[in-house]
Amino acid sequence: MRWGMIMVAAVLLASCTAVEVEPIPGSITYNGQPRTKLTKSPAGSTFSHTFHDQRGNYWSETYQIQPDRSLKIISRRRAEDFRLNDNGGL
């Protein structure tokens, strides 16, 4: 019985898929990929983008440059208070 429960849990965990962060208004990639490519930055490097939406919420997104030079949002967080740190992020 116990092994059966462990097997069921293992199968359920193995069937989970990762969810990608979707762009929202204000995101760099909201209307598709930018027309200009970041050609001097190495693939895999990251940078932050900070903005506020129409409701007044402040957001900080972290982007990663992909091998094909496109951008991928790897994280997003909302801040109650808009204070920038030394790196320009929230």
Provide the residue ranges of all domains of the chain, joining segments of one domain with +.
Answer: 2-79
Tell me the pLDDT band of 82, cut-offs 50, 70 and 90: low
Residue with the bigger pLDDT between 54 and 9: it is 54
pLDDT at residue 48 in the model: 93
Give first-to-last CA distance, the chain, whole Å: 49
Question: What's the pLDDT score for residue 8?
Answer: 77
Question: How far is residue 70's CA from residue 90's CA, in Å, rounded to a whole number?
Answer: 24
Pick 64 or 55 by higher pLDDT: 64
Which segment, 10-14, 26-30, 34-38, is predicted with the most confidence on average?
A: 26-30
Give 69's contacts (C-beta < 8 A, 6+ positions apart).
37, 38, 39, 43
pLDDT given for residue 2 in this prediction: 80
* Whether the predicted model's global pTM rises above the 0.75 cut: no
Q: What percent of the chain has pLDDT over 70?
A: 82
Q: Which residue has the tokens 């091998």?
A: 67
